[in-house]
Amino acid sequence: VSDASGCSMIAFLHTGAAKFPQNLLSRSRQAVSPLFPAGVLKGFSSVISRKLASHGFGASMAAMSSFPPQRYHYFLVLDFEATCDKPQIHPQEIIEFPILKLNGRTMEIESTFHMYVQPVVHPQLTPFCTELTGIIQGMVDGQPSLQQVLERVDEWMAKEGLLDPSVKSIFVTCGDWDLKVMLPGQCQYLGLPVADYFKQWINLKKAYSFAMGSWPKNGLLDMNKGLNLQHIGRPHSGIDDCKNIANIMKTLAHRGFIFKQTSKPF
């Protein structure tokens, strides 16, 4: 049974069951079922599902039906790792620069930017830094400078369509340190400009506290525990922390949370 567009009424009855009024759904099934042998309805809807999936619609349609509309087309999940020691060294320098592009409709990762950065003021990583982050000296030696990495970020943003004025995107960090302290502080030290897209963000800790009613004192560990999520990868690995942030965001969105900017305008 098809309409003018060729869409199957059977597929509608199958995929729309969750939202279709139960009394009408029952009557519709009763009206259609005599036309087909037992099991055909189920089999036909499975075929439709496979056809949609083959064209890339399966996961996205399911995800779109699960999440409320967000205010942004894309969330850009970011988590720096930087040179460090006890007592703390100054200035700190970014040594890992990861970004995950998260689709605001499906909350799935669509693209990844990930580079290591060579520090110039304190080029030798401390044992404390390596133990904390898992980043060894060979991972930063010979890597691009922060200026070069920022240029590549801009190229990636352009390639991903994120610089289009009609596309709404915002960075997401676990805390305010990354974009309020670390990046502008190092850029000021090096005499580099800070792109406007780095000047507004969502602090996941604040978003979590709004959604769950408690402040995550231990950051990602507390948020994963509060949401019954398994921690992904190694703590204080920038790219792994980004994956945890993305997973927490997806879970909160699934619960109906709408993400909003938390940073104040510069």
Q: Is 81 a catalytic residue?
A: yes
Residue 100 β-bridge partners: 77, 112
What DSSP string runs through 193-213?
Answer: ---GGGS-EEEHHHHHHHHHS
Any idea which of 51-65, 153-167, 198-212 has the lowest mean pLDDT?
A: 51-65
Judge whether residue 265 has pLDDT over 50. yes
Beta-carbon contacts of 51 under 8 Å, excluding residues fewer than 6 positions away, are: none
d(CA 254, CA 66): 6
d(CA 212, CA 260): 15
Per annotation, catalytic residue among 14, 55, 81, 231: 81
Per annotation, catalytic residue among 93, 96, 160, 236: 236
Residue 97 β-bridge partners: 115
pLDDT tens-digit series, residues 153-163: 999 999 999 99
Provide the pLDDT for residue 119. Answer: 98
Hey, what's the torsion of the CAs at 48, 50, 56, 61, to 10 degrees? 60
Q: Is 96 a catalytic residue?
A: no
Q: Which domains does the chain have, with CATH numbers?
A: 74-255 (3.30.420.10)
d(CA 11, CA 14): 5
- In this structure, the strands spanning 169-173 and 81-82 are unpaired
Q: Are 160 and 64 in contact (CB under 8 A)?
A: no
Judge whether residue 199 has pLDDT over 90. yes
pLDDT tens-digit series, residues 80-106: 999 999 999 999 999 999 999 999 999
pLDDT tens-digit series, residues 1-18: 333 333 333 333 333 443
Provide the pLDDT for residue 45. Answer: 43
Q: Are 115 and 70 in contact (CB under 8 A)?
A: no
Judge whether residue 226 has pLDDT over 50. yes
Residue 172 β-bridge partners: 77, 202
The DSSP secondary-structure symbol of 122 reads S
Backbone angles phi, psi at 199, to 5 degrees: -100, 5
d(CA 117, CA 140): 6
The residue type found at 23 is N
